[in-house]
Amino acid sequence: MNIYAIYINSTQKNNNFIVIAEGFSWIAALLSIFWALYHKMWLIVAIAVIANIIVTAINIEELKFIFKIVLILGFGFFASDIRENYLKRNNYRLEDIIIANSRIEAELKFLKRSMLA
């Protein structure tokens, strides 16, 4: 069972919702900058690119290796937190927390709950 957070933008009339899985994200860990680009998190992309440029300019192999490991683990462990903070800054609010086996099951549970309310 996984934990999913449901976010809704109350300023939009169509009430689209976003489902975010809690826990380690392999996609964010392995494709960190592309993951941030996909989710339109420009500040995160800029920080990661600038940090990469600085570490590359220093040209110390051990530092490059440590930085890449920290970047992989940081994005992997904190991807859901980074995305949740980004959504909160863009007028999204936490609507529900659901425990489900998959993202689709979490969406179905949320829709069922919202129809009953």
pLDDT at position 103 over 90: yes
Q: Tell me, what's the pLDDT at 117? A: 66
Which sequence spans correspond to the domains of the chain?
Answer: 2-116
| pTM of this structure | 0.82
Contact 101, 2 (CB under 8 A): yes
Nearest residue to 81 via CA among 19, 14, 23, 2: 23
DSSP string, 67-110: HHHHHHHHHHHHHHHHHHHHHHHTTEEEEEEEEESSHHHHHHHH
Question: How confident is residue 94, by pLDDT bands cut at 50, 70 and 90?
Answer: very high
Q: Dump pLDDT digits (tens) for 51-76.
A: 889 888 888 888 889 988 999 999 99
Distance of CA 44 to the CA centre of its chain: 11
Q: Tell me, what's the pLDDT at 85? A: 94
Record the tokens describing residue 112, joined without a space.
């069922």
The answer for residues whose C-beta is within 8 angstroms of residue 57's C-beta and 6 or more apart is none
pLDDT at position 12 over 80: no
> How many percent of the chain have pLDDT more than 70?
98
